[in-house]
Amino acid sequence: MISVFVYGTLLVGESNHSVAAPYVQSVQPGAIFGRLFDVGPYPALLLTEENRDWHVVGEWLEVNEEGLQAMDVLEGYHGPGGSNEYDRVWIRDVSGLREGWVYIYPTVEGLKVINGSSWKEYNAERNK
For the chain, list the strands marked E by DSSP: 2-6, 24-38, 43-47, 55-63, 87-92, 99-104, 112-113
List pLDDT tens digits, range 19-61: 999 999 999 999 999 999 999 999 999 998 766 778 999 999 9
3-state secondary structure of 74: helix
Q: Which residues of 85-96 are buried (b: 16+ CB within 10 A; e: fewer)?
A: ebbbeebbbbee
Complete domains list, the chain, with CATH: 2-126 (3.10.490.10)
List pLDDT tens digits, range 84-126: 999 999 999 999 999 999 999 888 899 999 999 999 999 888 8
Q: How far apart are CA 76 and CA 83, in angstroms?
A: 8
Residue 1, C-beta contacts closer than 8 angstroms, at least 6 positions apart: 25, 62, 63, 64
Q: How far apart are CA 64 and CA 40, in angstroms?
A: 29
pTM of the model: 0.94
Of residues 8 and 126, more confidently modeled: 8
**Which residues are annotated as catalytic?**
75
3-state secondary structure of 35: strand
Angular region, 110: left φ>0, alpha ψ -120 to 50, beta rest: left
Residue 35, C-beta contacts closer than 8 angstroms, at least 6 positions apart: 45, 46, 48, 54, 56, 108, 113, 114
Q: What's the chain's length in residues?
A: 128
